[in-house]
Amino acid sequence: MVIAQILSGGRGYVLPLRSGYDRELMAQTLQNFLKRNDTALVRLGAEVFLVRRVGPGVRCSSCDQPAYGVLWPEGLCTRCLCEKLPRVSHALVRAA
């Protein structure tokens, strides 16, 4: 299991990533955080990422699907980032 810690403006959430549902819950939580802020720090396991708010027309650089207002480094959506990180993708596959 991988722990996602979302940090923004002195507040934060801790979410365990055990399934695809948890990944989508993290994406929804990030959308809510980014309504109030332009950026948020997200720690997935030992790695820290700067996630930023984007407009509604922005697409993921990997899958070309809408980013839904949340863009990770390298222009990735939440789903593609979770698939590219070995520790996260392994935890999600093992849980399925």
Question: What tens digit of pLDDT does each residue of 19-29 get?
Answer: 888 889 989 98
Contact 79, 37 (CB under 8 A): no
Question: What tens digit of pLDDT does each residue of 62-95 get?
Answer: 999 999 999 999 999 998 988 888 777 776 666 5
Query: Which residue, 5, 17, 26, 14, is CA-closest to 91?
Result: 17
Contact 17, 4 (CB under 8 A): yes
> How many Å is the maximal CA-CA distance in the chain?
34
Give this prediction's pTM. Answer: 0.81
How far is Cα 96 from Cα 92, in angstroms, rounded to an integer? 6
Decide if pLDDT at 5 tops 70: yes
Output the pLDDT for position 59. 96
Query: Which residue, 74, 82, 73, is CA-closest to 26?
Result: 82
Contact 70, 82 (CB under 8 A): no
Output the pLDDT for position 60. 95
Mean pLDDT confidence for 6-10: 77
